[in-house]
Structure 1
Amino acid sequence: MAHTISRGMYYFVKRVPKRYASVDPRSRIQLSLKTESPDVAQRKSLIIEERLVAYWEALLAEDHEGAKVHYEAAVNFAEVQGYTYLSLEEVVAEPLGGLLNRIEVIPEGEQSKTVSVVADGLLGGADKPILKVSRLYEEYLDLTPDLLLGKSDDQIRKWKNPRQKAINNLIAVVGDKNVHELSRDDGLKLREWWMDRVVDEGKKPSTANKDFTHLSKIFSTWRDLKQEQLANPFLQLRLAQNDLQDHRPSFSRDWIRTVLLAPDAFGVTNEEAVLVFKILINTGLRPSELLGAKLEHFVLEHDVPHIRVEEYSDGAIKRKLKTRWSEREVPLVGVSLDATKRIVARGGVQTYYLKADRWGALINKAMVERKLKETERHTPYSLRHSFEESMLEAGVDHRLRVELMGHAYNRPKYGEGGSLELKREAISRFAFV
C-alpha cells in the first residue's frame, strides 16, 4: 500500500495482487484521498486497503457463499469507491449527476463476475440475502460483542436467555420469516398474543413488556449497524402495568424476628444457603452480589467488619456488577456479622458461589415447605426491600440509604475514615441481633 501526492492532493495507489487478477481486471488502483494532510492520507489509505482486500476475498469466495457474499461484496465495493450503497430504487431517485458518477466508476472488461459485482455495488442490483428471524439474534450478538465484556458465564447466560426467549415467542406467533418482511402487523400480532396470556393465564404485563423491549433493541441495533432502511415493528407495544401487581413486598420486621430468625426455622436446609440468607438480612445486598463474593471480600479484620462489593477478574471467571453504583462497602452487624464469620470459617461461599439462581430456588422451596413466607408473593429477594424500608423508618440519611443499596445517585463519596463508621451507625439503629 502507498499513497502519493499530486498538485497538493494525496492519492491511494495499489497494484492488484496476482491472487485477485481473476476477479479484478485492473492492474493498478488509484483513488483520490481528498486530503492535503499526510497523516490523514495514511489513515485513509490503511482503511481503503483493508476494505479492498476484504472485497477481493469476497469475490473469490462468491461461488461458495452465494447471494450473501455477492451482496456484501457489492456493498463493500461501493464504500471503497467512496459511495454509500443504495438500492436500485434509491440510485434511480438520485440526481442525474450522481447516477452518472456511479456509472463512470464501473470498469470495462471481460470478467463478467467482477463487472457484475461492481455494477451491483454502484447501481444497487444486488439482492439482499434472506435473514430468518431465528438468525437475527445471532447476527445481533456478532455485531455487539462489547455488551458481554466483563460478564461471568452465569451473567452471560442470564443476559442471553430472556432475549432468546423473546425471539422464540415471536417465531411462535408469526413464524420464522425473513427479517426484511417483518411488519407492524407482526408486532401487533405478538401484542395480541401476549394480551391473551395476560387475561387468560394471569401472566404479568411486565413479562410481556420485557419481550417488546428486547425485540425492539435487537432489531434497531441490528438495523442501524447494518444500515438497513427498515421501520422498527416493535415500538410502542408495551402493555399497561399494574404497579401493585408487579411490586415485590418486603417482610415485616415482626415476621423476620419471630419467624425467619426463629431457632431451626429452616430445619435441615443446606447450612451455607441459610447463612447467606442471614447475611442478607442486615446488609440489603442482592443475592448475586453476596454469592459472587470471594473470601477476601469478607473483611473481618477491620475496625468496622464489612463486605466489599466489587468487580473482579480471576482467570476464566469475570465478575461484573449490575451498575457502576453497585460497587460499595457494607458494614456487617448483628446476625449478619455472626453468619459471615461462619461463612469465612468454612472458606467463603463454596456450594453457591456464582449460583444465585440455584440458591434462590433452594431457599424459596424451603420457605414454602416450612411456611416461612409472609404471603405467596414474598421471595428471598424481599429481604432487600425490607432492609430499604427499615432504613427509611429509622430516618437514615438519604445519601447513606442510596449508597448502601448500591443505587444510582449523583453524589460525592463520603471521605475515607468516616464512611464505614457512618454506615455501621446507621444500620445499627434497626439491625437484627
Structure 2
Amino acid sequence: MDGLFPRGKKRRYTARLQVPTQFLNIVGRKEIWQATGTADYEEAVEFRVKWKRQMLAQWNAALAGQQPLTAKSRYQIAAELAASRGQEYRTADDVSEMAIEKLLGRVELLKANKDSPDSDAAQAILGGVAIPKMTLMEVAESMPERYPEDWKTKTERGKKVWERRWLRPAEKFVALIGNDPEFTQIERKQAVAFRDALKDRVIDEDYKAESAMTELQNLNGLWKRHHVALGVDIEDVPPSPWRNLSTPLSKLAEGDGQKLEIPMQNLMKIIAPGALSAMNEEARDLIYVLIETGARQAEVTDLPPGSIHLEHEIPHIEIKKETGEFSRTIKNKASKRRIPLVGIGLEALRRHPQGFPRYRGKGTFSAAANAFLHENKLLPEDITIGGTRHSYESRMVDAHFSNEDRAAMMGHSIKRVRGREVYGNPLSLAEKLSIAEAIKLIPALT
C-alpha cells in the first residue's frame, strides 16, 4: 500500500500522508509522517486508514472554523471527526446521560490524543454541536448526498427513480398537512392522518392500495436512513411515526374495501344536530354532501361553481372534466354524471353555492375530516370519511334498487355491470331524484 515505509532494525512501518491542497494553509507542509508501531503490514495498513480518516476529519473541522457554515455542515464535520476517533456522535445531553465508564472513556480518549477542552475534537467527542433541524423535504432532498453509494452508480433514469422514491411521499405529506414539518418532530397523529388520506383515495378508486403502502414504507425507510446518516445505531433509531400503518391498506389490496363503509349508526351520529358544530363550515357541509350524494371526495371538494345547479328544476351537481380556472379530470367516462341534491346535502350546498374553495384542489379535506371524526368518537378508528361512498351504495342495496341503477348513481360502468353493450336511454335526473329521495337520511330530532 502507498504511504507505508519499513524503518529501522525492527522494520516497523511509518505512515506517510500527503496533505490535500485545501488544507495546506492549515497544516503548513505538503506531507506528514506517523509511526505505526508495528512491523506487521496488515496492521500497518489498518493503522494508516484510521489515521488518515482522523487527520482529514481534523483538518475539515479546522477549515470549518475559518468560514461560515450551516448547522448541517457543522454537525456533519463533528460527526465525521467523532467517527474518526472510533466514537458515535452524541449530543451533550446524550453524553451526560451515559454510563460513567463510557463518559470517562471519551475523556481519556481526548487526553490520549492531547486534545484541549476547546478543540474541535472535544466538541465532537463530547457533543458540543447540535444536531441540525431538517424539514421533511430537506431530508428527502438530501438522500443522494448522504447515500452516494446507492445513487452514483445508477443510470440517469435510475437516479431520478431513486430520488422520487423519497421525494414523492414527502411531497404528498407536505401537501396534506399544509406545511413542511421538522422531520424528527412529525407526530404519530399526523402520520395516521396521512395514512387515512391515502386510504380514502384507495376507497375512492383514485389510487392503488399497493402504491399507498409503498409511500408509507418509503417514509419509514426515510426515517431510518436519516437517523443512521446522523450516526445513530440501527437498534437505537427512534420509532417511526409511520410504523405499522399499512395494515388497513393491505386489507384494501386484498379486496376487503367493502368492509370499510360507515355503519348506519355512525352516519346518524354524524348528522345529528350539533355533532359537527365545532368543525369549520366548509368541512362540515362537505361531509353532508358526501353522505347524500355517494360521490368521491375529489368530485365534491373540487366542484367548480359552474357545476353546482341550485336553480335547476331538480337541484344537482355535475361531475365532468373541467378546463380553465377550475380545470380538473375525472376518473373515467362512466364517472361523468349528474347527481341530484336532497336533504342535508342540498341544504349544505345552498350555504356554499360557490363550492368549497378552502379545500378545492388541495387534497387536505380527508385529513381534517378524519381527525375530527375520530377524535370526537363519531367514527371507529379503522373507518374513514371515504366510507360514505360505500355506505351510500349499501343504502341503495337495502332499498332494493337494481345493480344498474346503483351504477348510474355511483358513476360505475353500466357496460361492465351488464357484461355487454349498453342500449337505450340513461337514467334520467328525475329517476335519480326518486332514488336519492328514497334513501335520504333525516337527522333525529333532539
Tell me the TM-score normalized by structure 1: 0.45
Tell me the TM-score normalized by structure 2: 0.44
